A and B are shown apart, each in its own frame.
Chain A
Amino acid sequence: MSIQNWARLGLLIVAVAILVSGPYWASRGTMRLLIEVFYFLALAQLWNLLAGYSGLISVGQQAFVGLGGYAMFSLAMFAGVPILFALPLAGILTALIAWPTAFVAFRLSGPYFAIGTWVIAEVYRLVFAQIPALGGGSGISLPAGLVKAMASGRSARESLIYWIALAIMLVVVLGIWIVMRSRVGLSLSALRDNEEAAVSVGVRTRSLKFVIYIATAGMTGLIGALIFVQKLRITPEAAFSVTDWSVLVIFIVVIGGIGTLEGPILGCILFFVLREYLADLGAWYMIILGTISVVIMLVEPRGLWGLILRWRNITVFPVTRRK
């Protein structure tokens, strides 16, 4: 390994160690914020895998956040599954539902795929609003007993949720990195750069996109399950919110830099910094975010990370061959 790679590994280990020890140094407020950072970063990386690497521009990932959340609540409340087991199960269930969903969504391509996924997410929202057992349109709370059974005491539970969120985020980021360095990653890059040429050398476009879509949905469902365990309450509006789980996630990726692993991290940090200072502005906050992302798409479609690359050719997660 080169010195550069050792330095990279060292930095990564230090960063992970600092984050893992979070419950020992962070206040409750900081931990809540970090949990949110983790799941937004994971959602952003997953959306980036779809749109930036696989050409599947979805505006409907909120479908899987919501399905994961509702699967989690249903498993815990009706099947009596302990929350810690219900979390991964909710992810698997979401992936299973994503399967037939993909058959419908893949009837459309390009921009129509984007709006089609949005329609499908709306269908799930409207369907869950019609289920009385899950509280219909006004939603339902996780019974306190089930939540208490997660861990002994409130701070232990919060630490547990923190670590799970961190673990999911790390699995997503490192997982996508590993995938992008593999044969699959090479196929995806080939598809993105020139679909006809990729197909002509034997990349199986459709099945590859299909698998990516379902795997992404499953992970998104797992994140959704965790989000609503933390929130303790789920409503169709919150679970299938296009603003929270698509608009903000897309802004994070676009501002940071689509089609790179570093971009969403940068975008996520910037997003939370901006939110700390601008969230009080309400509608203007969204106008500012929207304007930044539109300007970035017009000026430098590779995002802020692309601007950094113009200045210096650096990489945190190398996925291409060194030149």
Chain B
Amino acid sequence: MEWVNAIVQGILLGGLYALFAAGLSLMFGIMRFVNLAHGDFIVAAAFGTLLFVDATGVNPLWALLPIVPIMMAAGYVGQRLVLNRLSGKDILPSILVTFGLSIILQNLMLEQFSADSQRVSAGALDTSAISLGGGLTVGTVPFLLFLSAIGVIAVLNWIFAKTAIGRQLRATSDDPETVGLMGLDKRHLFGIAMALASAVVAVAGVLLAIKTNFDPAAGPIRLLFAFEAVIIGGLGSLWGTLLGGVILGVAQGLGAQIDPGMQILAGHIVFLVILVLRPQGLFPTKRGS
């Protein structure tokens, strides 16, 4: 029973990892760009939630209202002003700039909020649980989190499949030059893609703040989890990313069941094994090349 419980908790945790990963996956899918400050932006959104709750005293979920648009605007502007200058064949500048950005963000948060571990309370939600029958109960927060991960991925997939902007983004991903010939502005589309990814980052950050403790140095490990979920799931598929997150979460849950010190390590090892045996990931989509 303990093991079943560990697996169920792992699946729910995987939802959070899928949220971390969806933003990363979007950026790479459309702009062929990896943001090494991804985890730090998630933590920044979590600190934003903390500030909002401290100021207003309302339920932290309301923090989505200001934080999502703020992050989207920042993402669009940052992409137009800074990151677009780096997009090109050479990946080195974008890696090094986002790596520098990661260190700047971590230390700004350290300066502002101290190294203390923080947590945002969601009131009664924190302690409430849902019974799944058979003696299994899950916390309401992790359960809602998992549902929101599914929701976010469904919305993203709908945007890509059904809307004009989604079609333009897919076209940019396949062949940015031709998109330019069709009269679309690549720089603007990259900005939109970054805004979309930032919205996911904002949601992930707010939910992270409700779900667990965080501190200014908590970003890099989130980047690694996100990355692992993307690679396990296979590039290019958001549902694959969700499954990648779930596999990572279950591996960590089972690892923790063996020994608390094994939690993170078990996740990394499952990731490395999958990388060696199936480097294209478990559910890659064959598109374009």
Contacts and interface: CB of A to CB of B under 8 A. Distances in A.
A101 to B, nearest CB: 10
A114 B85 contact: no
A9 interface: no
Contacts of B107: 283-284, 286-287, 290
Contacts of A107: 275-276, 279
A250 interface: yes
A284 B12 CA distance: 38
Interface string A287-302: 1011101100110010
Contacts of A103: 276
Most buried by A among B92, B101, B264, B275: B92
Prevailing SS type, chain B contact patch: helix
A298 B82 contact: yes
A118 interface: yes
Interface residues of A, number: 42
A149 interface: no
A297 B261 contact: no
A227 to B, nearest CB: 21
Given A59-B36, A283-B110, A297-B97, A119 B224 contact: yes
A206 B157 CA distance: 37
Interface stretch (B54-62, B119-127, B200-208, B265-273): B265-273
A294 B94 CA distance: 10
A111 B228 CA distance: 13
Interface string A53-68: 0010101000000000
Contacts of B93: 297-298, 301
B224 A112 contact: no
Contact of A114 (B36, B100, B272, B275): B36
B224 A123 contact: no
A286 B106 CA distance: 9
B96 A254 contact: yes
A57 B221 CA distance: 19
Nearest to A110: B91
A51 interface: yes
B193 to A, nearest CB: 16
Interface in A283-323: 283-284, 286-287, 289-291, 293-294, 297-298, 301
Interface in B193-245: 220-221, 223-224, 227-228, 231
A289 B231 CA distance: 31
B111 A111 contact: no
Contacts of B99: 59, 247, 250
Contacts of A120: 272
B268 A126 contact: yes
B171 interface: no
A16 interface: no
Interface string B247-268: 0000000000000011011001
Contact of A297 (B96, B221, B268): B96
Given A115-B36, A115-B224, A123-B268, A287 B111 contact: yes
B91 A294 contact: no
Interface in B55-99: 82, 85-86, 91-97, 99
Given A122-B268, A290-B107, A130 B36 contact: no
Given A111-B33, A298-B85, A51 B103 contact: no
A104 B268 contact: no
B108 interface: yes
B92 A112 contact: no
B104 interface: yes
A210 B56 CA distance: 56
Contacts of B261: 126, 129-130
13 contacts: A107-B275, A114-B34, A115-B223, A119-B268, A122-B264, A126-B261, A126-B265, A258-B92, A286-B103, A290-B107, A294-B104, A297-B93, A298-B86
Interface of A: 51, 55, 57, 59, 103-104, 107-108, 110-112, 114-116, 118-120, 122-123, 126-127, 129-130, 242, 247, 250-251, 254, 258, 282-284, 286-287, 289-291, 293-294, 297-298, 301
Instruction: List 4 tightest A-B contacts by C-beta distance, closest first.
Output: A111-B34, A290-B104, A294-B100, A283-B107
